[in-house]
Amino acid sequence: MELKTVDLAVEQHGEGIPLVLLHGFPLNRRIWHPIVPLLEKKSRLILPDLRGFGDSPQEVEEFSMRLLAADVLQLLDRLNIEKAVIAGHSMGGYVALEFAHAYPHRLKGLALVASQADADSPERRQARLITAREVRSRGIRYIAEGMPSKLSADAAIQTQLSQMISACSVPVVVAALKAMADRRDANPWLPEIQVPVLAITGGEDQLVPVEKAYSLIKLVNKGWVIEIPEAGHMPMMESPQKTADALFQLVCAANGC
Ligand code: MLT
Which residue range is the domain that position 226 belongs to? Answer: 10-118+186-255
Answer yes or no: are the C-beta atoms of 48 and 74 closer than 8 Å: no
Kindly state the percentage of the chain with pLDDT values over 90: 98
Does the pTM surpass 0.85? The reply is yes
Q: Does 128 reside within a domain? A: no
* CA 24 to ligand 1 center in whole angstroms: 6
Q: What is the pLDDT of residue 256?
A: 80
Q: Does 130 reside within a domain? A: no
Q: Is any atom of ligand 1 closer than 6 Å to the C-beta of 207?
A: yes
Q: 33 CB contacts (<8 Å, ≥6 apart)? A: none
Q: Does 233 reside within a domain? A: yes
Answer yes or no: are the C-beta atoms of 127 and 85 closer than 8 Å: no
Would you place residue 103 in the very low, low, confident or very high pLDDT band (cuts 50, 70, 90)? very high
Q: Does 175 reside within a domain? A: no
Q: How many domains does the chain have?
A: 1
* CA 90 to ligand 1 center in whole angstroms: 5
pLDDT over 90 (residue 2): no
Could you tell which of 21, 22, 25 is best to mutate to test the pocket of ligand 1, judged by most ligand atoms within 8 Å of the CB? 25
Q: What b/e readout covers 110-143, taking b as 16+ CB neighbours within 10 angstroms?
A: bbbbbbbbbbbeeeebeebeebbeebeeeebebb
pLDDT over 80 (residue 1): no
Q: Does 205 reside within a domain? A: yes
CA distances 164 to 132, 160, 209, 232, Å, are 18, 6, 23, 18
Q: What is the pLDDT of residue 176?
A: 98
Q: Is any atom of ligand 1 closer than 6 Å to the C-beta of 22?
A: no
Q: Does 41 reside within a domain? A: yes
Q: Is any atom of ligand 1 closer than 6 Å to the C-beta of 25?
A: yes
pLDDT digits (tens, 9 = 90+) for 23-35: 999 999 999 999 9
pLDDT over 90 (residue 122): yes
Instruction: For residue 221, give the CATH number of its domain.
Output: 3.40.50.1820
Residue 255 half-sphere exposure toward CB, CA atoms < 13 A = 20
Q: Is any atom of ligand 1 closer than 6 Å to the C-beta of 179?
A: no
Q: Is any atom of ligand 1 closer than 6 Å to the C-beta of 91?
A: yes
Q: Does 5 reside within a domain? A: no
Could you tell which of 208, 216, 233, 234 is best to mutate to test the pocket of ligand 1, judged by most ligand atoms within 8 Å of the CB? 208
Q: Does 155 reside within a domain? A: no
